[in-house]
Structure 1
Amino acid sequence: MTTPPTLSLRGRWRTVASRSYGTRVYRVEGRSTLYVKTTPPRRADDFRFNPSNEAARLAWLQERGFPVPEVIEVGASDEQSWMVMTEVPGIPADTAPDRARAVATVAEFTRSLHALRDCPFDGSLTVTTDWARRAVASGVVDLDDLDPEHDGWSGQRLLEKLSGLPVPPEDLVVCHGDLGLDNVLIDPSTYELTGVIDVGRLGMADPWRDLAVLVRDAGRSVLEVYGVGFDAERERYYRLLDEFF
């Protein structure tokens, strides 16, 4: 059995995030600051946090010059799997004092990511809608973290709504897959991009896979910097699809 990181990392441990499906994120302050993400064992096709999947995506982004955490260790025991990674500098874009500048930085990063048109990871509707169905069937949709308009909805009701929407055509580019403002880090002085985190859903998808989430977090002004007009059909579809992740 592989040794869990809790037995091998020395320092002060602090929980910084947790999800209802068992994922935990810890900040460990010792000689250097590290982050540890743990989760119950996952199947490779599970879109919730999977250490091996996310580590591969971080390596892919790093090879292309994007600022991401360096993976120190990926491991597993019978009870949990984990990833240990370095800290990246900066603050989450959603906490920056000058919101307009922060949103512009995020939009510029998104445009540069979407300029890439090939990667080995699939985030297209074929796999993401299949995940939506499986997530509902297995009862793992996080119903406590839905948009206000879906408060109190069941997973089945969400799926019925998604199935009733026209499926938009896809223009596949490299997408982050969970591009909230909190997953992009910036320098609070210069507003330059310093880090990209939580990339476990990165893959080939339509740009609105990311843009719908950004519009939710930042408003339509983000589209002006990115350089695209508002697409109500795609925004509605991908905003709803995100509820299953």
Structure 2
Amino acid sequence: MAPSDATPAPPGADADWLPVTTGESGASVFRSADGTRYAKCVPAADTAALRAERDRIAWLEGQDVPGPRVLDWSSGDAGSCLVSSAVHGVPADHLTADELWTAWGSVTEAVRRLHAVPVSRCPHGRSLDAMVAVARDVVARGAVDPAFLPDEQQHTPPGRLLERVLGQVPERREQEGADTVVCHGDLCLPNIVLHPATLEVSGFVDLGRLGTADRHADIALLLANARETWADEERARAADAAFAEGYGRVPDPGRLRFYLELDPLTWG
């Protein structure tokens, strides 16, 4: 399978690369036949976003936080292609509930390490105001994906959901100013890779939204996504408590709810 005519091909696409059909970015993604590299290719209109992802990957390499490495970059009239190293292991969403429980301490520690990177080092922002602007645009275009919304919001007009978020922005902006960290930006289980033998974190992937933000933007997605694996409420509560203990602080429930309401409105 080759990329569409609107996007460039990765080096040696016909013989050396295999298409990756999972993921929701809309880019053409390929994995090298030996499993050591990934190539993400986009049309020219999306070059700026892919370049930003490249810069985030390159920055994170020097921060003692595990992740991919930038191996190659090409850009032209047809679009752009980013080649990065694979992070070897199993995505956390592929684990059973018992396996994720075993890995939970390592996941917690990896998140703690990421959030401990000094904000002053990070040139990339993901501020609340920036994400609200994205949400306004997505809602205005009618591009909210209902699949990203929780069941209880499936039939609520996106404009009404946005109004609920906007009413909290002044308070959440003040909280962000007092509690900004380096966030992954899309900290769900598929973006956390673990060594299959040890269930220790091998690295974070999909870093296109990495930047400084309220730590709850990350924690909200992680805890909510993990609940889909735990299934039973008792295990979920125990996991939340274990995360708080290992991370070193108890998350604010109000801020968790706010970022869970905002995030689905920022994709589209």
Same fold (TM over 0.5): yes
Structure 1 unaligned runs (5+)? Answer: 45-49
Contact between 2:10 and 2:39, CA under 8 Å: does it hold in 1?
Answer: no
Partner of residue 112, structure 2: 111
CA distance in 2, matches of 1:79, 1:150: 39
- Residue of structure 1 in register with 2:166 after alignment: 163
Change (3 A) 1:5 1:70: farther
Percent pairwise identity: 36
Q: Say how many residue pairs are matched.
A: 237
2: CA distance, partners of 1:116 / 1:76:
31
Alignment of 1:131 onto 2:137: no
Distance in 2, matches of 1:75 and 1:43, equals 10
C-alpha distance in structure 1 between counterparts of 2:39 and 2:216, whole Å: 30
Q: What root-mean-square deviation, in Å, do the aligned CA atoms of Structure 1 and Structure 2 show?
A: 2.4
The aligned counterpart of 2:62 is 63
| Amino acid aligned to 2:123 | P
For residues 45-124 of structure 1, the aligned pairs below 5 Å read 50-97=49-96, 98-118=99-119, 119-124=122-127
Deviating more after overlay: 157-166 vs 120-129: 157-166
State the 1:18 CA deviation. 4.3
Task: Specify the alignment match of 1:239 in structure 2.
Answer: 260
Normalised TM-score (structure 2): 0.79
Q: Is the 8 A contact 2:216 2:251 kept in 1?
A: no
1:143 corresponds, among 143, 146, 150, to 146
Instruction: With the length of structure 1 as denominator, give the TM-score of the two structures.
Output: 0.85
Alpha-carbon distance, 1:165 to partner: 3.1
Letter in 1 for 2:22: A
Given the superposition, is the C-alpha separation of residues 89 and 18 from structure 1 closer, same or farther in structure 2, using an over 3 Å criterion? closer
1:193 aligned residue: 201
Determine the structure 2 residue equivalent to 1:172.
Answer: 180
Q: CA deviation at 1:216?
A: 0.2
Match of residue 47 from structure 1: none
In the alignment, is the contact (CA less than 8 A) between 2:89 and 2:196 conserved in 1? yes
Bigger helix share: 2
Which has the larger displacement, 132-141 or 196-205?
A: 132-141
- 1:26 is aligned, of 4, 24, 30, to 30
